[in-house]
Amino acid sequence: MKHRTWPRASSSSPFSSFPFPTDTPSSSSAAKHTRFVRRCSHSHPPPLPAAPSDVGAGFSALPYDVMAKIAASFDDPTLKAASVVCRSWWEALRPLREAMMLLRWGKKFKHGSPRVKQNAEKALESFEKAAARGSALAMVDAGLMYWERGEKQRALDLFLKSAELGNHAAQCNLGISYLQAEPPKTEEAIKWLRKASVGGNARAQYQLALTLHRSCGTKSNMKEAARWYLKAAEGGYVRAMYNISLCYSFGDGLTHSNQLARKWMKRAADSGHSKAQYEHGLALFSEGDMMKAVVYLELATRAGERGASHVKNEALHRLSAASRDHAMHLADSWRALPSK
């Protein structure tokens, strides 16, 4: 798919969702899961070690609603670990443990599995039940399904509730939703994107940088935009890799550096960004490295970059028949680096 140049909006789905395993568990892990389910549903928790007096006077005395808010965005391993800290935490986190099981079922119904038939209605029902038990993760998944159905206000309500509980994916989704509103709510969008960005969400970091880049007329805004592009690029976000390369190349918000511009352009190209493949191929062509130039230009051509074909053909004429065949073989066997 052809990648747009900066600072246009991303053409991919603007939403993100907390990753959640969907693989069918092995028999041994299934047995462990069954034991955990029984443990969660048991009316009394297993014997727990007594908390030291200094801990007991503090954390174990937290009100249940406070504990539920703190743990709303916990993933499964973290929730399990927190549940066995002390008896009061076990009781306080019971609804979230139930929500985690419902969330798993929702994922299975949404995506399907060898043993579970895909069913969007049951998926949404599971996500809603998990959300009602306080799971910020489930609120994101339910919100995504409502958004896809066109029920945007219901989606926004869920994103907002999850975002207020500290879920970074929800904060990112909420920020992007505000940018897409008519008219756009740019200040609110920046507020939530910044919260998600500080929390390490790479998509939010890219969207925040893009928003600052578009709206900036000041040097300080461009510096902040470049800083978030770099953060997102370091977090594996491909479009940010391309944009930070341009920042270094033009000295836009950062000190000019051909070396760093080249580094990030290659990384974006290796991660599948079509325009980066084209531009990196052009650089290789200008340096006389025809073999590598053909590979990147062929990849860019296949992705729809129109200008790449002419330069690729010119590079092919300068190679031997054996080298041409080898270059095309490399393009055929190329695989993008893992990225976000």
pLDDT for res 316: 95
Other CB atoms within a 10 A radius of the CB of residue 135 amount to 32
pLDDT for res 48: 47
In a domain? residue 15 = no
From the CA atom positions of the chain, what is the Rg in Å?
Answer: 25
Cα dihedral 205, 209, 212, 217, rounded to 10, equals: 160
In a domain? residue 115 = no
The pLDDT tens digits along the chain (340 residues) read 455 545 554 444 444 443 334 444 444 444 444 443 344 444 444 454 444 444 444 555 667 778 788 889 898 899 999 888 878 888 889 999 999 999 999 999 999 989 999 999 999 999 999 999 999 999 999 999 999 999 999 999 999 999 999 999 999 999 999 999 999 999 999 999 999 999 999 999 999 999 999 886 555 689 999 999 999 999 999 999 999 999 999 999 999 999 999 999 999 999 999 999 999 999 999 999 999 999 999 999 999 999 999 999 999 999 999 999 999 999 999 988 777 7
pLDDT for res 7: 55
pLDDT for res 43: 41
pLDDT for res 15: 47
Tokens of 138: 């489930």
In a domain? residue 53 = no
pLDDT for res 193: 98
Q: Total structural domains in the chain?
A: 1
In a domain? residue 238 = no
| Residue-range definition of the domain harbouring residue 327 | 274-339
Tokens of 182: 């008519």
In a domain? residue 142 = no
Q: Are 168 and 199 in contact (CB under 8 A)?
A: yes
Query: Which pTM value belongs to this model?
Result: 0.79
In a domain? residue 320 = yes
For the chain, count helices (H), then strands (E). Answer: 19, 0
Q: Are 253 and 260 in contact (CB under 8 A)?
A: no
Q: What gap in Å lies between CA 328 and CA 96, rounded to an integer? A: 53
Tokens of 222: 């461009």
Among 217, 23, 14, CA closest to 112: 23
* Type and span of the H or E element at 66: helix 64-70
**What DSSP string runs through 131-196?**
HHTT-HHHHHHHHHHHHHTT-HHHHHHHHHHHHHTT-HHHHHHHHHHHHHSSS--HHHHHHHHHHH
Distances (CA, A) of 42 to 32, 39, 92, 96, 201: 15, 5, 14, 15, 37
In a domain? residue 56 = no
In a domain? residue 284 = yes
